[in-house]
Structures are given as structure tokens and as C-alpha cells.
Amino acid sequence: MLKRIIKKIAPSFLLDFYHYLLALTGAFLYGFPSWRLIIIGVTGTSGKSTIVELAAKILEEAGFKVASLSSIKFKIGEKERENKLKMTMPGRLKIQKFLSQAVKTGCKYAVLEVTSEGIKQFRHKFIKFDVAVLTNLSPEHIEAHAGFEKYREAKLKLFKNTKKIHIINLDDENAEYFWKIPAEKKIGYRLNEAAKLLPKNLNLLGEFNLYNALAAVHIGLSQGISLDICKRALEKIRGIPGRMEIVVKEPFIVVVDYAHTPEALKKVYETLKGAKLICVLGACGGGRDKWKRPVLGKIAAKYCQEVIITNEDPYDENPIEIIEQVAGDTNAKKVLDRGEAIKEALKLAQPRDVVVITGKGSEPWMCVAHCKKIPWDDRQVVKEKYKNLTKIR
């Protein structure tokens, strides 16, 4: 609460100085640990967490000790813990402490998910990035950054701070902005490389995951790891938590995914189309990207045969108003309680149908008013509701 008050009353230049000073303090206190690691930063709108996970697996398959940090988990060597911060990129002190622990544990690499909000608050400062990776770019955090161009500029700062290796998705329409930034080595990747660089039995759904896997392979190749090792590592992966995760397989399928932007949601639905889609979704509150709420509802209405709009991290906003904004003028059902919305979707499902629950993925909290966090996991709720449903049937 104190941080929100300070943010409202303090001039922007003072906030910038505060964030910058925190970044410097954290690096100084922990002895600038990034200088003793090879740091790989992954940024973009979608796919960051997946690429962090895949790249870490490739590096480990090659015999390196690796630390990784994403919206899914924090991992240092063999030890890992769920990211329960409701923050993809931790604060300056936390991230420097994490890197310091990685050094002490004997890690050679750290793979970090880098967000535009993190960059805006200087969380990337005083971290020596050796590799910068761009996944893709589409509108997100537009209101927080005051426009798409400023959002893109925030992402560009990671590349400007990384002097050695840049890895860029050349199929993305914003690639040229990133390609112009100088680096010792530039690597571009495209979807048409998939047949050559990826294993035939990649256990990840969706074309977008082919892009994610390609980025991870190029990270490995940039570090002198053979293509055979990269492929072997990817073959061992059975899925990414909360990312196109199949929670129920029979008699119908239930998929949980983190998609919370229009472009990501569209890609999830396009991957699963062909079956009858029963879709549960909402939109984040707290004033975040209000523009996208009706867009999400329209995308769901276009691809899904049944749509249920529900609550999703309302923060201090009225959740009913958010639901109304997402639903717009569509014929979607509106169910305030997210658990009940999931239950309703499962009741509607028939054999071979696909229930798609998006927005939260593997997140462990529901964030409500007065800064309260309620324990929540879409995947566990699905399992509980499905178990009760099968008992009734």
C-alpha cells in the first residue's frame, strides 16, 4: 500500500532515481554476482517462461549447472521453488541475491525472464547480460508504458545493455528494431527452421511452441552446444507448467494456459480448433490494460462454441464490472466465482470436447482487494471439480 501511495505522489524522475539506486545497492551488497555468470535474458510478449525452461534444460543436458528465473519458478542447480511473488521479475535486491546464490552454488549460467515492467523499474540494471533473446512483440502493458512504442522501447533496452549475443525472432514484425542494435553476434530464427533444428517428437502443442523451442535451440547453439544435445534435451520435456498443460485427458480434454493477451489467446484457440471448444476466461484488474478486455471476449466468441467469462485477479476493481467489459456485446455466460465457472464448463463438456481455461496458468494466487492474495491454482480446481463431477455422473 505504501508503494502505491509513493507512486501516486512522487515525481517520475524521483521514482526512477529510487529504482536505479535500489538496483545499484542490490548489486553492490551482493558483490555484482552477474560478472561471475553467463547471463541469458529472455524478453518479449509471449513465450518467455517457456523459453527459459527449455533453454535451462538444454544447458543442463550439456552438463552445466544452471540457475533459472521465470514466472513459473526459481531454480538454482537441483533446488527449485514455485514463484509465488505474483511478479515475473523480482525486485532489485531479490534478483541480485538470487544471482549471488547461483554463484555460490557453482552455477555457470543463469537464464532470466526479463519483463518490460522490470526494465522500467531498472531491475535489469547492473546485471551483465551475455545473451538477449526476443520472442515476439504484441500490445501489452500499453497503459503502463503510455503506448506500444514505449513498451517496445523498454524491451529494446535489454538489447542495448547486451553487447555479446542477440537472438531474434525474424518472423516477428518488430524484429527490425532489435536487429539494428549493435552486438558482437546476431542470430535470427524463423519457423521454417523447425524441421531441421527440432526433434520430430516435440511434446509441446502449438506453432508458437515451435518458435519457443527454436529460440531455446539457438541459445544452446550460441554456447557451443551440439544440435544433437539440444534435440535430446527437448525430447525429454513433457510439458511446461500452466502452458498448454493438459489436466484432464478423458472423456474430454481440459487445457490450462497462461494466455492473457489477445495474440496469445488467439494462438491457443487456433491450436485447439477442430474440436468443440468450451472456454473459460477473464481479465486482470488493477487498471491493467483495460483496452484488451472486450478484445479478449470477442476472440473467445469467434473461436469457442461455449464461452464463460469469470473473475481473474480483480485487485481493487469491481470484478463484476471487469466481467461485463470482457463479455461486451457477446452472448457469453457470466459466472463471478471462478471455481463455479470451471465447474460449469466441465458440466457442459461431452466426449472429445476441449475445455480451455486461460489467464492464470500455474499461478498460485488470486489477487483481490486490499492487497490480499487467496491461494488458487486453476489446475487443482479443475482436478477437484472433475473428481466431484465424475462421482455425480
At 252, phi and psi to the nearest 5?
-125, 170
Domain count, the chain: 2
- Cα separation of 307 and 331, whole Å? 8
Same domain, 126 and 151: yes
Residues 259 and 159 both lie in one domain: no
pTM attached to this predicted model? 0.91
Show which of 178, 208, 235 is a domain's final residue.
Answer: 235
* Average pLDDT, integer, range 271-287: 95
Task: Return the CATH number at 39.
Answer: 3.40.1190.10
63/115 same-domain check: yes
Q: Is residue 362 part of a domain?
A: yes
Are the CB atoms for 70 and 48 separated by under 8 Å? yes
Cβ atoms < 10 Å from Cβ of 220: 24
Is residue 374 within 8 Å of residue 366, measured between CB atoms?
yes
Does residue 226 surpass a pLDDT of 70? Answer: yes
pLDDT single digits (tens) 309-341: 999 999 999 999 999 999 999 999 999 999 999
Same domain, 223 and 112: yes
Locate 121 and state its grid cell.
523499474
Same-domain check for residues 81 and 161: yes
User: Does residue 382 have a pLDDT over 70?
Assistant: yes
Are the beta carbons of 277 and 332 closer than 8 angstroms?
A: no
Give the C-alpha separation, 307 to 356, whole Å: 10
Pairwise CA distance, residues 99 & 68, whole Å: 9
Average pLDDT over residues 175-198: 97
Output the 3-class SS for 53-82: HHHHHHHHHCCCCEEEECCCEEEECCEEEE
**11 confidence band (pLDDT: 50, 70, 90):** low
Distance of alpha carbon 306 from alpha carbon 304, whole angstroms: 5
In a domain, 4, yes or no: no
Asked if 151 contacts 186 with a C-beta cutoff of 8 angstroms, the reply is no
User: Is residue 2 domain-resident?
Assistant: no
Residues 6+ apart with CB under 8 A from 158: 41, 43, 114, 119, 124, 129, 132
CA 13: distance to chain centroid?
29
Could you tell me which of 311, 16, 325, 4 has the C-alpha nearest to residue 154? 16
For 132, the domain range is 10-235
Cβ-contact 350, 276 below 8 angstroms: yes
pLDDT of residue 90: 76
Same domain, 283 and 172: no
pLDDT of the residue at 2? 42
Are 215 and 266 in a shared domain? no
Cβ neighbours, 10 Å, residue 204: 19
In DSSP notation, 2-30 reads: HHHHHHHHS-HHHHHHHHHHHHHHHHHHT
Would 240 be classed as within a structural domain?
A: no
Regarding whether 52 and 99 lie in a shared domain, the answer is yes
Average pLDDT over the chain, rounded to whole?
92
pLDDT of residue 313: 95
Quick one: pLDDT at residue 8? 53
Q: Is the pLDDT of residue 9 over 80?
A: no
Of 235, 265, 297, the last residue of a domain is 235
Average pLDDT over residues 134-158: 84
pLDDT band at 255 (very low <50, low <70, confident <90, very high): very high
* Judgement on whether residues 255 and 223 belong to the same structural domain of the protein: no
Model confidence at 134: pLDDT above 90: yes
Asked whether the beta carbons of 179 and 173 are under 8 A apart, the reply is no
